[in-house]
Chains A and B, each alone.
Chain A
Amino acid sequence: MENSASLLEVRGISKSFGAVRALQEVDFTLRAGEIHALLGENGAGKSTLIKVVTGVFPRDAGIVRLGGDEVAPRSAKAALQAGIATVYQEVNLLPNLSVAQNLFLDRQPMRFGIVREGEMRRRAKALLADFGLDIDVSAPLGNYSVAIQHVTAIARAVDLSARVLILDEPTASLDRHEVEILFRIMRQLAKRGIGIVFVSHFLDQVYEISDRITVLRNGRLVGERETASLPRIELIRMMLGRELAETTSARAAAREHESRKVCASFENYGKSGYVAPFNLELRHREVVGLAGLLGSGRTETARLVFGAERADRGQARVEGTPVRLQSPRDGVRHGFGYCPEERKTDGIVAELTVRENIVLALQAKRGLHRPLPRREQDEIARRYVRMLDIRPPDPERPVGLLSGGNQQKVLLARWLATSPRLLVLDEPTRGIDVGAHAEIIRLIRELCDDGLALLVISSELDEIVTYSDRVVVLRDRAHVEELAGETIDVGNILAAIAADSVAVALEAHT
């Protein structure tokens, strides 16, 4: 469609959660009849943008115009009435009701106060037929596959006269055939003039279906491009990197190349269906960075290394001795520490105090029968609060009240208290404001200089380049390349991530 009238216009949207600025003056334009991909790594602000536009979160600044008129929905329901419908990955329908009831809930055809069941089924069937679906609409929705539930949700949204349809990761739980059906429906709807926002982290699908791409990074708009004229490497650069020039200079001067002692090594280590077998050596006084797109196997590698996931092949060694890493307990016993990405759910215990959070891992390592004396706890907490400059410097404050950066430091302190030999950090700078960001990076370097081995995951390529001695690049759940010394720069990492994906894309089309 060459219809270029802008349907949904988002201008200067900002949104903060506490000290974290989730969106900063983001613009977004959706034209009628186009399929517009909204891309960005985790935490880039995609979901926040969607939720702000649909009124789930109130916005701090900015305006939203739909068909030229300003709209400010206060709830998802209001947004729906205005004509903006969202279909989430988790289908928001009722599995215990029939397909027909789901399509017409609260607007069933009525006669004398009684729902015209037959008429409703007939209309439901006709509606779904438009989407190429021929199913028994009187059966409970829960009987059908996720794909059909998605289509039902879309059909309901469209039938409610939606002009803008937002699909948030709709294909994540669909198989290839189901994705085809969904894409066919999306194209049909676009032909009817509906604007579709497509959020996905499957780049192949983005190239297959979308007309235009908008990329967000760290809550800011990186840019809007036409899909056809955006090379894949350029897209990945938009998602991950900043300017190439500025980062290469930021690279720390090559550190002394003395031979470092190997701390832990993994040979042909892997788990089928999780991460392909890899070889990895982690040395003392060295930072290894893991780079790759979302879902490329970075976190999975970290979990295998720590023992949070059990490998089904390969051999792990610690200081040269073969070990078995069956559980996080094993990892802790061998002196490993792991700060997971989901700080809030997997890391800190928000209700406990800073002190209690810091001594948690140390206590677990000692076992329940040898409680740490309170005096020792206080001593440890004080030491790390001072050393890491945790603010406010009050060990008795519940961790939940601290800012993201300080929570991250408490997590670090927890593992440092166990005097580990290897520390695995998954996205240590995610959701942290800029000042704390630099501080965490400085800490990583310092810890390394103290003799620790570090394995760090980050989506910030310039950040990885700054502190890593070696960088392992992952793609499609496999380690594809290892960069060391002078070869580490954003350009090389991007090239390694993007290599081959053209071939992959071609494969997906056939």
Chain B
Amino acid sequence: MRGLPPVLITAIVLVLGFALCAVQFPNIASTRVVGNLLTDNAFLGIVAVGMTFVIISGGIDLSVGSVIGFTTVFVALAIERWGVPPLVAFVLILVLSAAFGAAMGAVIHVFDLPPFIVTLAGMFLARGASFLLSTESVPITAPVYSTVSDFALRMPGGGRLTAIAIIMLVIVIGGALLLHLTRFGANVYALGGSRTTASLMGVAVGKMTVKIYMLSSLLAGIAGIVFSFYTSAGYSLSAVGVELDSIAAVVIGGTLLTGGQGSVIGTFLGVLIQGMIQTYINFDGTLSSWWTKIATGVLLFAFIALQQGLVALARRPVAKSAGAAT
């Protein structure tokens, strides 16, 4: 698989970190803790899968946090105030967020603008729109919410694999298949290699750009629904800064920030590492939760330095001589 070495390093960091945690707090090594970790980070995992596609294609999507926030407010209002059946509300918001992403992708391609600026505008737009809907937290009391929250698969050892954790795992696996096994996935890598070359080689760059940002926003919408399950409320200030957490997870997962290389599995591991640090701090009890950010920052630096090293190594052409057969 592509980009294996960085992914391997991420995996080693995760295993080592988990082992260290387990030595200090033996209780951490239980399905209960792991189950909670997956549940707590479900929305982050989902949105990071979309971010992986965007970053591998050479772009960035800063709007995802705001889309999550908007989604929670929209869903809460639709169900509680406007009397829309939950399922219909879900479909509506997913269509809306997908269209939002497609529009951003179209603007990026048609006007040849940097994704950073376009999605930054999208970020303000979506956050502003959610404030417009409601400035206060709207609790969701629909029966569907308690049903979903109560649902969980029992794992050996007493852990609970909740519905939202299952959704996240399904999306991670689906995302990995989409990225690594389909033509769409190959084109995402191609775009990250060079847009001009990809277009010369026959990739429909415009369509791809629209689809990639559409996918990212769609997944942000799903993450928003999951977030509303997680908190049973809709709040316009929820998920502020999640776009940065997800970028961090993608980069720690070994995806090249400049595009062209990376994997969904790596991103998943990156999410788990962030969750693991958070869990450690919870167990310790004396540390401020801001240590999560500090540890994430240190890890990010380490991984970016590592990538630069690997890139520098890759620049030296491997002297493989032409296998002059015949």
Interface residues of chain A, those whose CB is within 8 Å of chain B, are: 76-77, 80, 92-98, 101-102, 105-108, 110, 113-115, 117, 129, 132-135, 140, 142-148, 151, 156, 177-178, 181
- A96 close to B199 (CB less than 8 A): no
Interface residues of B in 80-119 (CB under 8 A from A): none
CA distance A135 to B323 in the complex (A): 7
**B199 proximity list for chain A (CB < 8 A):** 77
Give the shortest distance, in Å, between B181 (CB) and chain A (any CB).
Answer: 5
List the A side residues contacting B323 at CB < 8 Å.
Answer: 132-135
Kindly state the separation between the CA atoms of A406 and B274 in the bound complex, as whole angstroms: 62
Report the bound CA distance from A76 to B183 in whole Å: 22
- Asked if B324 and A132 make an inter-chain contact with CB atoms under 8 angstroms apart, the answer reads yes
Q: Determine whether the beta carbon of B181 is less than 8 Å from that of A132.
A: no
Complex-state Cα separation, A178 to B324, whole angstroms: 10
**Nearest chain-B residue to A56 (Cβ)?**
B200
Q: Are B320 and A105 in contact (CB under 8 A)?
A: no
- A94 touches which one: B185, B190, B317, B325 (CB < 8 A)? B190
Q: Which 5 A-B pairs have the closest CB atoms?
A: A94-B193, A96-B260, A134-B323, A96-B193, A106-B202
Chain B contacts with A in 277-326, Cβ cutoff 8 A: 314, 317-326
Establish whether residues A96 and B192, one from each chain, have CB atoms under 8 Å apart when the complex forms.
Answer: yes
Q: Which of B164-223 contact A (CB under 8 A)?
A: 177, 181-183, 185-187, 189-190, 192-194, 197-203
- The one of B185, B198, B320, B326 in contact with A135, judged by C-beta atoms closer than 8 angstroms, is B320
A107→B325 CA distance, assembly (Å) = 27
Chain A interface main SS type: mixed
CB distance from B208 to the nearest CB of A (A): 10
For the complex formed, measure the closest distance between the CB of B42 and the CB atoms of chain A, giving whole angstroms. 27
| A95 contacts B318, C-beta separation under 8 Å | no
Which residues does chain A contribute within 8 Å of B317, judged by CB atoms? 143-146
CA distance A98 to B321 in the complex (A): 17
A106 lies within 8 A of B187 (CB): yes
Please, which residues of chain A bring their CB within 8 A of the CB of B63? Answer: none
Give the complex CA separation of A135 and B321 in angstroms: 9
Distance (whole angstroms) from the CB of A54 to the closest CB of chain B: 10
Which residue of chain A has the shortest Cβ distance to B256 in the bound complex? A96
B10 within 8 A of A: no
Given the contacts A101-B186, A129-B325, A142-B314, A94 and B201 also touching, CB distance less than 8 Å: yes
In the assembly, what is the distance between CA of A102 and CA of B201, in Å? Answer: 9
| Nearest-Cβ distance from residue A134 to partner chain B, whole angstroms | 4
A97–B198 Cα distance when bound, in Å, is 11
Shortest Cβ gap from A194 to chain B (Å)? 19
CA distance A114 to B261 in the complex (A): 20
Is the CB–CB distance between A181 and B197 below 8 Å? no
Q: Among B2, B202, B322, which residue has its beta carbon within 8 angstroms of that of A133?
A: B322
Task: Known A-B contacts: A96-B189, A145-B322. Give 12 more (CB < 8 A).
Answer: A94-B260, A96-B193, A96-B260, A105-B202, A106-B183, A108-B183, A113-B182, A114-B181, A115-B181, A142-B314, A144-B318, A147-B322
Residues in chain A near residue B260, CB distance under 8 A: 94, 96
How many angstroms between the C-alpha atoms of A94 and B205 in the bound complex? 14
How far is the CB of A178 from the nearest CB of chain B, in Å? 7
* Chain B minimum-CB-distance residue to A182: B322
Partner of B320, one of A96, A113, A148: A148
**Please, could you name 10 A-B residue pairs with CB atoms under 8 Å apart, sorted by A?**
A94-B198, A94-B201, A105-B187, A105-B201, A106-B183, A106-B187, A106-B201, A115-B186, A129-B325, A140-B2
Assembly CA distance A105 to B202 (angstroms)? 8
A116 — nearest CB in chain B belongs to which residue? B181
User: Chain B contacts of A101 at CB under 8 A?
Assistant: 186, 189-190
The reply to whether A105 and B186 contact each other, CB–CB distance below 8 Å, is: yes
- Contacts A77-B202, A94-B194, A95-B193; is A115 near B182 (CB within 8 Å)? yes
- Within the complex, what minimum Cβ distance (angstroms) separates A104 from chain B? 9
For A96, what are the chain B residues with a Cβ–Cβ distance below 8 Å? 189, 192-193, 260-261
For B321, the chain A residues whose CB sits under 8 A away are 145
A148 to B187, CA, bound (A): 22
If the complex has contacts A77-B202, A94-B198, are A105 and B190 also in contact, measured as CB distance less than 8 A?
yes
Interface hub of A97, A108, A110, A114 (most chain B Cβ within 10 A): A97
Residues of A within 8 A of B193 (CB): 94-97
Asked whether, in the complex, the Cβ of B183 is within 8 Å of the Cβ of A181, the reply is no
Q: Which residues of B contact A147 (CB under 8 A)?
A: 322
Contacts of A151 in B (CB 8 A): 322
A377 to chain B, nearest CB (A): 37
User: Closest approach, in angstroms, between the C-beta of A187 and any C-beta of chain B?
Assistant: 13
Give the residues in chain B near A135, CB-CB below 8 Å. 320, 323
A contact residues around B319 at 8 Å (CB): 145
Known: A93-B201, A96-B261, A106-B183. A133 touches B325 (CB 8 A): yes
A105 vs B186: C-alpha distance when bound (angstroms):
7
| Docked pose: A144 CA to B321 CA in angstroms | 8
> A97, B189: Cβ atoms under 8 Å?
yes
Q: Is the CB of B325 within 8 A of A134?
A: yes
Complex interface bits, B19-46 against A, C-beta within 8 A gives 1, otherwise 0: 0000000000000000000000000000
| Chain B residues closer than 8 Å to A134, beta-carbon distance | 323, 325
- A144–B198 CA distance with the chains assembled, in angstroms: 19
CB within 8 Å of A: which B1-22 residues: 2
Q: In the complex, are the beta carbons of B201 and A178 less than 8 A apart? A: no
Residues of A within 8 A of B325 (CB): 129, 132-134
CA separation between A147 and B324, bound complex, in Å?
12
Q: Is the CB of B201 within 8 A of A92?
A: yes
Q: Which residue of chain B has its CB nearest to the CB of A114?
A: B181
Say how far A156's CB is from chain B's closest CB, in angstroms: 8
8 Å CB contact of B183 from A92, A110, A146: A110
Residues of A within 8 A of B261 (CB): 96
The digit string for B242-281, where 1 denotes a CB below 8 A from any CB of A, is 0000000000000000001100000000000000000000
- B182→A94 contact, CB < 8 A: no
Find chain B residues with CB under 8 A from A107 CB: 202
Residues of A within 8 A of B181 (CB): 114-115, 117
- A residues less than 8 Å from B200 (CB atoms): 76-77, 92
Cβ 8 A contact of B322, one of A92, A117, A148: A148
Cα of A77 to Cα of B201 in the assembled complex, Å: 7
**A129 proximity list for chain B (CB < 8 A):** 325
B45 to chain A, nearest CB (A): 23
Select from chain B the residue with minimum beta-carbon distance to A86: B200
Using CB atoms, name the residue of chain B closest to A156. B201
Q: How far is the CA of A105 from the CA of B322 in the complex (A)?
A: 23
Query: In the complex, what's the smallest C-beta–C-beta distance from B227 to chain A, in angstroms?
Result: 30
Cα(A271)–Cα(B318), bound, Å: 30
A37 to B320, CA, bound (A): 30
